[in-house]
Structure 1
């Protein structure tokens, strides 16, 4: 540990994460979970940590005796869960309902002392992990590319800078304000999407589409298969590459950024507005890309001729998420079938009906996307402020 001359005077401390004052322990979860126990203890895996929260829709459960053998990671309220496999560095805070649950080997559990929580150390570490500089360090220390894995030792050795108390108090207040605004924006995006879905149900019911024979997907859009990530070659450009998990983890039907890029000829890029379709167990999820993108392996991209068609197709596919499982392939049904999917029957009304629906739905989607983009800007602003001061840029 050492002190450095900070921009607001002496007092900045840089130390390894495991040695940060206020951190009680840093552990990883259950190594051998055994068979699923439907009545067992919920276990949070890396894939369950989505957008800063725990997704409880498909939790694994372990037998009580396995849980008892892994008491070090029996969760408490306000533990910080950090992804060690895949989206390394993503994190979520446990809430009272998670007390007594456990974590998988793919998740690190950072526990804080009462004094550390009172001093805001948990909040500081969570935001520090979100900084681009930190993410680069974590990726540099990880093994593999497609399935990056960070060791617990490397996480413990991560360098963390802490400001003097007066500055930390001010920055924590800024973080708190940003988090409250982010939460409001998430509700706005969610409610706007729900309203669009409700209007779709009203239009579909009013036109009697639920009782009519369908129209094949191939008749209303162009279906494009996904592809693996590619390295840079002459004549190619860097384009956002969407992994299936990013589509599946999206809380709204919008994808406006990806974690990885690929290198392709520009004329092969899917333009903004392209629909991306990805499967998970028992369901298929559809989102609209807000950026130029290349769909990843196992996914499909859908190009429509107009915004009117895109709006109806997006909501039609969302309403038939469970039925679309019949268009997947593979033993675990984790890839879309390029052969089956175009034959799937849709409810497709007259253009006048689709136009009236689009007139209502487009502004709702625009509001949802604006709220999500404001959240990105808020996060970047807070991270820039904390890391900039740590580096003496203020």
Structure 2
């Protein structure tokens, strides 16, 4: 282990300590245990499901009564608090922003609060990235229990080993992290805008040029529709495959799903191939994205396979443009799952192949630009994570492997 027993410091000057004991960490706590009923005039409360892709989604927040909030002021949010998911997508994070000042969090969310020094020296940024590394994710998953609704005890988050480099190296890596975060945010906007532009072109093709050609072809006539399944554990056998939860589709910032927070186990060859469209509902909303990785769709979702790119690109934008009609026709206002039977009968605008091919020639480069932006995000993440390993530990692992 190339580590001195007395100080916890490696030969290269890195230190390893439990998360809650790191210099710069003020406290680690979880949120409201008994929130009570939703109070429309109460204090916003962030739940695990509200933390999506590194940010707080405030479109459908729960609210707690003022009296409940007063009893839980220790978890009233401050800007720069790090929020960590404890239930479901274990280890996902978001940073509290100024507009979240005074909000609270649910029991399913942990708050890591930092001292002024911890914010100034980059400890907060380092920990946020550390929680996304494979070693941190693997340990947190191992400490959680359950298959579909894994829960991480707060004590295990507090005891998570975190390695910190010497200050001069940390300053450099934290600077790289912040640059990567800004570029990642820009790339995500580029990906979203590229698909919005494709949507705009589709609207012209479908609702102007092709308005008189509307034929009402049922979904089942142009593609294969299958239902999603629940996530299972490794004890069920098979191979590990990315598992897409409905919320990941519903809250995706782009039209392409290129990663998932969870995996499941399934027989070889049963995953949906890249290019499969995933349709997920919630009350009053239906969302469609394209999976660009092999994936198993979660329960309550539908997976759609087409024969070729032309059909896939047209169908993706047709479903996106008809999200409201899909909601009313396939699930009803209060349903949380889609009826495959009703969905399969939904009438599509399916013009002649020439018009669909013409649209695909315009839309495909926009999709390619969106995917290139997402691919660069992966490369940026790998670059940063590669800088977060103690070189003396890495050398020790290499020597052990050589033996």
For Structure 1 versus Structure 2, the TM-score category normalised by the shorter chain is: over 0.9
Please tell me whether the aligned partners of residues 3 and 13 of structure 1 are also in contact (alpha carbons under 8 angstroms): yes
CA distance in 2, matches of 1:102, 1:311: 42
Corresponding position: 1:20 with 2:22: yes
Of residues 73-82 and 332-341 in structure 1, the stretch that sits farther from structure 2 once superposed is 332-341
Distance 1:163 1:341 in 2: 54
For 2:180, the equivalent position in structure 1 comes to 178
Structure 2 alignment gaps of length 5 or more: 1-5, 397-403
Report deviation, 1:239. 3.5
Task: Quickly say closer, same or farther: Cα 1:133–1:332, change in 2 above 3 A.
Answer: farther
How far residue 220 of structure 1 moved from its aligned partner, in angstroms, is 1.5
What is the aligned length?
390
Q: Which residue of 1 aligns with 2:39?
A: 37
Q: How do residues 255-294 of structure 1 correspond to structure 2 at under 5 angstroms?
A: 255-258=257-260, 259-266=262-269, 268-294=270-296
CA distance in 2, matches of 1:210, 1:46: 46
Q: 1:28–1:238: structure 2 CA closer, same or farther, 3 Å change rule?
A: closer
- The residue that corresponds to 1:359 in the other structure is 361
2:306 maps to which residue? 304
CA–CA distance in structure 2, aligned partners of residues 55 and 233 of structure 1: 34
Unaligned 5+ runs, structure 1: none
- Aligned equivalents of 1:37, 1:389: Cα separation in 2: 52
Cα deviation per residue 1:332-371 (whole Å; 9 max; x = unaligned)?
5222212111011122222222111111111111111111
Shift of 1:232: 7.0
Residues 1:210 and 1:133: Cα distance change in structure 2 (over 3 Å): farther
The superposition leaves residues 289-343 of structure 1 with CA deviations (integer Å, 9 ceiling, x where unpaired) of: 1122222222111111221111111011112222222355599522221211101
Checking the alignment, whether the CA contact within 8 Å between 1:131 and 1:387 is kept in structure 2 is no
**Cα 1:208–1:124 shift into 2, 3 Å:** same
Deviation larger for 158-167 or 69-78: 158-167
What pairs with 1:341-380 in structure 2 (closer than 5 Å)? 341-380=343-382
How has the CA–CA distance of structure 1 residues 127 and 391 changed in structure 2, closer, same or farther, with 3 Å as cutoff?
Answer: farther
CA 140–161 in structure 1, closer or farther in 2 if over 3 Å, else same: same
- So what's the TM-score if we normalise by structure 1? 0.92
1:122 deviates by 0.7
Residue number in structure 1 paired with 2:400:
none
Residues 44-103 of structure 1, C-alpha deviation per residue, up to 9 Å, x if partnerless? Answer: 111111111111221111222221111011101100000000011110101111111111
Q: Write the distance in 2 (CA, Å) between the matches of 1:282 and 1:390.
A: 54
Name the SS of the counterpart of 1:359 in structure 2. helix
CA distance in 2, matches of 1:194, 1:234: 41
- Give the aligned partner of residue 245 of structure 1: 247
Task: Assess, with a 3 A threshold, how the Cα gap between structure 1 residues 157 and 332 changes in structure 2: closer, same or farther.
Answer: farther
SS in 1 for 2:8: strand
Do the aligned residues in 1 keep the contact of 2:283 with 2:333 (CA within 8 Å)?
A: no
Q: CA RMSD in A?
A: 2.3
